A and B are shown apart, each in its own frame.
Chain A
Amino acid sequence: METILEMRNITKTFPGVKALNNVNLDVRKGEIHALVGENGAGKSTLMKVLSGVYPHGSYEGEIIYNGQEQHFRDIADSERQGIIIIHQELALVPLLSIAENIFLGNEPAKFGVIDWHVAENRTRELLAKVGLKEDPLTLITNLGVGKQQLVEIAKALSKEVELLILDEPTASLNEKDSDALLALLLEFKAHGISSILISHKLNEVGKVADRITVLRDGATIETLDKKDISEDRIVTSMVGRQLADRFPQREPDIGEVVFEVKDWVVHHHIHSDRTVINGINLSVRKGEVVGIAGLMGAGRTEFAMSVFGKAYGRKISGEVFLKGKKVDVSTIGKAIDNGIAYVTEDRKTFGLNLIDHIKHNTTIVNLAGVSQNGVLDDMAELKVANEYRRKTNIRSSSIYQKTGNLSGGNQQKVVLSKWLFANPDLLILDEPTRGIDVGAKYEIYTIINQLVSEGKSVLMISSEMPELLGVCDRIYVMNQGRLVGEMPASEASQEKIMRAIIRAEGKAS
């Protein structure tokens, strides 16, 4: 098979850091080439070099594309050659329509006057290609994340793509949407389009990739052929050592019921006649990790946030008990005072003050713990911040590093730190390992184990079933705002969980 892209000895240095060190990557025509590695391994930097974000001259090494050496000056330059990159954070304008977004900056126009008729027709063709059944005039804001991702791909197709780069395309998609997207990649492959797929989800990499290149610490470790691909093999190569087990062991020491929710009902925060959570009863014991499984949109986040001081929803009814006592969780402040913590699934939007440093983020929930009569004790705060930085193993230059400059895993540890310092009895963790690498995941699991061994309780929402099976003691299954299953982790399996969901779906329809 002929080679479409060859990146030779790419070295990129930032002041003080060698982000890429003699990295080599070759992609064949019409293959799906996966790029894996821990956060900070250099995947995104390499793709930025390729797409011209870092222009020719700012790095060493050469890029040979379609047999010719390329000197990309900017993204427009690489796009002209058919290299299109779709970033993890989608770059769509929410209040414009699908058609407007697809042709943004590339409008079919004569003398600056846009021919919307042509735009809509072409949009329709493109949407058919990616299998999205939506009207071209639908606003982006009315689409789910999965569909938005498809619009991004349709946009890429509108530009005569030869090499498609997808950065974590399925990070925020549920299983069904992920599968659809992967199927789409296979279809493109059949049409001769090459793709570079950056992903943390090794199972899907295994499913679609023809070859895998592993990066670690800015260097190419190896390129594996399809026949050699196994999850264990990739993980070992990524972290540079054998991860004996992806989940740390723990001897469960489970006590009495700490947290109990009865007859919890929540209505949609805008359409208050729509029931989002419909009569949920659940309990968590002391020292127990309880998981909530379910598809995207099952209502798990909505449930957690409504319990946490009515941070979501309207017309909420039901009762919450902590240690056998009925408690008032009508505001976030009261929920925190009663010993509940909610660690958000979206750390950048809801978890951190990204322009401030680790120290200030660590203490913000429990300022009372580092102050007297409203006056902060600088020394106490320093001590706390350093203590939690060590406890959760945050890798940063100091506690004065801005959280916006940390990697995803380390950001997650800061969010955890701030809630740990609030010293809650129950921690609700919403997708605690989303978008972070294998090593950091392991560290988060270790922290969870540490917590429950100290007698705290954890309620964990996750869309990654192996994670739920590996970490939890007991698992609830949620579907369309109801609990449709409950099983001890020892008896649970992915099939069992999926079956519970599918059975419930069948009943609902």
Chain B
Amino acid sequence: MTVETAATQGKKDFKTDGSALKGNYREYGLVLALILIMVFFQFTTNGVLFRPVNLTNLVLQNSYIIIMALGMLLVIVAGHIDLSVGSVSGFIGGLAAVMMVRWQIHYIPATILCLAMGGAIGAAQGYWIAYHKIPSFIVTLAGMLVFRGLALWLLGGQSVGPFPPQFQLLSSGFIPDVFGYPGFNITSMLIGIILVALMIYFSVRGRAKREKHGYEGEPFALFVAKNLIIAGIVLFLAYLLSSYKGLPNVLIVMSLLIALFVFVTKRMTVGRRIYAMGGNEKAAKLSGIKTERLTFLTFVNMGVLAALAGLIFAARLNTATPKAGLGFELDVIAAVFIGGASAMGGVGQVMGAVIGAFIMGVMNNGMSIMGVNIDWQQVIKGLVLLAAVIFDVYNKNKA
């Protein structure tokens, strides 16, 4: 038993926290991988990838996957899986079409009803998983079949459309430009600049607060570099999008949701409890955490997000088809695992899942532009998923 003096103990509190940095390196690595992949495709597609119109498409094409990945991250961190999200989003898209097109219900109450329906579906599945301990794999596999079937039945095997124009704006609209300068959306650029300013303000304030309490954060140079790089990327992308039609509405919805989920997972007690439950459910339960209710709510949340994704997808195609959402669950789950989540639960970050989804999206987009056949696209995507997880496991074993 070595007796440490108070002085050395005190110093230890303020030591740069090595393991937390190590955790961040993984996130930096993921961003780096995304950038490398984008640069790679920028060359192989002869500069098409970063064209404003293509960039806009990239956002529109991947928004629904990213939105579902947010919910899936919580489900996977909680130690579960949801295979039904593709079918549920397809079913909700069909429901929206039936309500708005066939029954002529106004798009606002119809949207609210659809989201509520998604929540109810999540609740129905979560009920069996949380309170009856039926494995989520089985419950949601059943849900996948049930809601695919219901979507077919609802639409009578046909495509239903078109949607009211206001509803279409959810996917195909851009935020209006109040300045009206031709060829460049100044409002969008301003939003980008304000966003960067806010981001820098908050990260400087956070750092100052840490230092005031005597806790040392990451090295100053790293801090500056990190902020500059992120600011640069955001401004660059905002500039590119502004020089086309501006920021898509769906990008705003998506960004707000991402911010919300980052906040919930990193800063809120409910997020902390989900990680604790995924890490060791028995210990969490004995710590007074209502694990059943938490699991249930995780699936309700997933249902609502799947419904939102279904609405966005339907609005984008401007028609609901019985096949909508087919296979989405695989892209969503792959995005979360590429983003570093553990299949055992308890590990995973929202930003990781988002970047994971973008990695998949950029590869889809880039390979399509290059004219790679769909068969080989699947093979390559599968291998990238495997490689990402092998990389994670290898690193974990080394540590």
A contacts, CB < 8 Å to B: 239, 308-309, 311, 332-333, 335-336, 342, 344, 349-357, 360, 364-365, 367-368, 371, 374-376, 378-379, 382-383, 386, 390, 397-402, 418, 439, 442-443
Contact = CB atoms under 8 A, between A and B. Distances in A.
A104 to B, nearest CB: 24
B289 to A, nearest CB: 8
A311 B283 contact: no
A336 B288 contact: yes
Interface of B: 1, 9, 12-13, 15, 17-20, 209-210, 213, 215, 267-270, 272-273, 275-276, 279-280, 282-290, 342, 346-347
A378 B17 CA distance: 14
Contact of B1 (A239, A356, A371, A386): A239
B347 A364 contact: no
A443 B1 CA distance: 10
B276 A400 contact: no
B287 A398 contact: no
A386 B13 contact: yes
The 4 A-B pairs with the shortest beta carbon distances in the complex, nearest first, are: A353-B279, A367-B269, A400-B19, A336-B288
A382 B215 contact: yes
B209 A342 contact: no
B346 A353 contact: yes
- Residue in B270, B273, B287 whose Cβ sees the most chain A Cβ within 10 Å: B287
A439 B286 contact: no
A374 B346 contact: no
Contacts of A357: 19
- Residue in A333, A336, A364, A371 whose Cβ sees the most chain B Cβ within 10 Å: A364
Contacts of B19: 357, 397-398, 400-402
Overall SS of chain B's interface = helix
Given A356-B346, A379-B209, A439-B1, A350 B282 contact: yes
A314 to B, nearest CB: 16
Contacts of A399: 13
Contact of B346 (A333, A336, A355, A379): A355
A50 to B, nearest CB: 23
Given A239-B1, A342-B286, A355-B346, A367 B13 contact: no
Contacts of A351: 283, 286
Given A332-B285, A365-B287, A398-B19, A371 B269 contact: yes
Contacts of B272: 360, 364, 367, 376
A356 B272 CA distance: 11
A350 B283 contact: yes
Contacts of B276: 353, 356, 360, 364
Given A311-B286, A353-B346, A398-B12, A376 B267 contact: yes
Nearest to B13: A386
Contacts of A354: 279-280
A400 B285 contact: no
A332 B279 contact: no
A349 B283 contact: yes
B346 A375 contact: no
Nearest to A387: B13
A374 B9 CA distance: 31
A332 B288 contact: yes
B281 to A, nearest CB: 10
A351 B287 CA distance: 8
Contacts of B288: 309, 332-333, 335-336, 365
Contact of A375 (B209, B213, B267, B287): B267
A368 B272 CA distance: 12
A353 B283 contact: yes
A352 B9 contact: no
Contacts of A386: 13
A56 to B, nearest CB: 21
A367 B18 CA distance: 24
